Amino acid sequence: MKAVVFHGVGDIRLDDVEEPKIQEPSDAIVRLTSSAICGTDLHMIRGTLAGMKLGTILGHEGVGVVEEIGPEVRNLRVGDRVVIPSTLGCGYCSYCRAGYYAQCDNINPNGPQAGTAFFGGPEPTGPFDGLQAEFARVPYAAINLVKLPDQVTDEQAIMISDIFPTAYFGAEIAEVSDGDAVAVFGCGPVGQFAIASAKILGAGRIFAVDKEESRLEMARAGCGGHQLQRGGPGRGHLQPHRRRWGGPRHRGRWGGR
C-alpha cells in the first residue's frame, strides 16, 4: 500500500509498504477513505518534535471503513464507517475511565509514565504507524474507533478525528462559560474550531488573533455576529483590547510553535 513515511528530519516520502495485519485480538484493520495533514506532522519533519523512528508512517487523522476485526471487538462490524481518534487509549484503566485518554496507563508500550500514545508520532508515543496510508491497524479498536451515522459525511468526520476535539478541549480547559470574553491566539484550523467551540460553550465575545487576513476572514464568516478583533505581532496591538473591553477573561492557545 502507499503511505507517507518518515525518513529523517526534512525527509518524507510516499512509499510502497506492507499492509498492516491484525496482531492482537482487540485490533481492527481500517481501510482509510480520508486522511489529513496536520500542523503537528510538521513538527516532526522540522525537528521540533524529536525522536521519530525511521520508517514510521505519518498521520494521525483518519476516517474509513472497518475491514477486519479481532475476536474481542464486539461493538463494531466489518463495513462500519468510522472516525479514528488521534490519541489512543485502552478504555479500561482509571485514566481512560476518567476521560483522560491522553494519559492512558496501558496502551503506550513505553510504560505508564511515557505519556500520550498517538498515531504517527515519535518513538516515546509508541510508535504507532499512522493514518496517511491506505490501511491502518487500530489497537483496542472497541474504544479507539467511533462509528459514524449516515448523516455525517467523510469530509465532516475528518475534522472530528483531531482538530475539532483539540479545539473543544482547549475551550473546556480554558474554562469558557456563559457570557465570557475569550481570546483565541492563532486562527489556523484548530483556532477556527476553538472559536466555534467557545461559541458552543457560551462565550459572549470572541477575539480572534492572527496576522493572516484570510484566516481572520474565515473566522468572521464562521462566527457571524461575534466581535472579532484583529491582532498582530507587537504588544501595541494588544493594549487596545484591554482598554476597550476590560480584557478577555479566558483564552485559548494552540498549535505549538
Partner 1 sequence: MAGQFEQEMSEVALETNPQGDNWHPGGAPSQSLIWATQCVAKGGSIGVIGVFPPQAMTFPVGALQQRNLTLKGGNCNHRKYIPRLVGLVATGALDPTGILTNREPMTDVIEAYKIFDQRQPGWIKVELLPTAGG
Q: Taking CB under 8 A as the criterion, which residues in 116-155 touch partner 1?
A: 116, 118, 124, 132-135, 143-144, 146, 148-149, 151-153, 155
238 lies in the site for partner 1, by CB under 8 A: yes
Q: Which of 164, 206, 208, 216 binds partner 1 (CB under 8 A)?
A: 164
- For residue 225, how far is the Cα from the chain centroid? 27
Per-residue contact string for residues 69-98; x = within reach of partner 1 by CB under 8 A: --------------x-xxx-x-x----x--
| CA distances from residue 33 to 62, 131, 136, 141 in whole angstroms, order as listed | 8, 10, 11, 17
Give me the helix-helix angle, 189-200 and 213-223, nearest 10°: 30
- For residue 26, how far is the Cα from the chain centroid? 23
Q: Which stretch binds partner 1 (CB under 8 A): 2-10, 21-29, 72-80, 105-113?
A: 2-10
193 lies in the site for partner 1, by CB under 8 A: yes
Q: Which stretch binds partner 1 (CB under 8 A): 20-28, 48-56, 68-76, 105-113?
A: 48-56
* Grid coordinates of 47: 525537528
Q: Which of 69, 142, 174, 206 binds partner 1 (CB under 8 A)?
A: 174
- For residue 12, how far is the Cα from the chain centroid? 20
Our CB check for partner 1 shows the closer of 38 and 69 to be 38
225 lies in the site for partner 1, by CB under 8 A: no
Q: Which of 27, 41, 128, 201 binds partner 1 (CB under 8 A)?
A: 41
Judged on CB neighbours under 10 Å (0-12, 13-18, 19+), 128 is buried
Task: Report the amino acid identity of residue 197.
Answer: S
Residue pair 179/199 in contact by the 8 Å Cβ criterion: no
Residues 11-30, interacting with partner 1 (CB under 8 A): 11-14
Residue pair 191/219 in contact by the 8 Å Cβ criterion: yes
Q: Which of 127, 166, 216, 228 binds partner 1 (CB under 8 A)?
A: 166
40 lies in the site for partner 1, by CB under 8 A: yes
200 lies in the site for partner 1, by CB under 8 A: yes
215 lies in the site for partner 1, by CB under 8 A: yes
Bond from prior residue into 124 cis (ω within 30 degrees of 0): no
Q: Which of 20, 127, 139, 248 binds partner 1 (CB under 8 A)?
A: 248
Total number of residues binding partner 1 (CB under 8 A)?
115
Spatial CA neighbour of 252 closest among 209, 211, 215, 219? 209
Judged on CB neighbours under 10 Å (0-12, 13-18, 19+), 235 is exposed
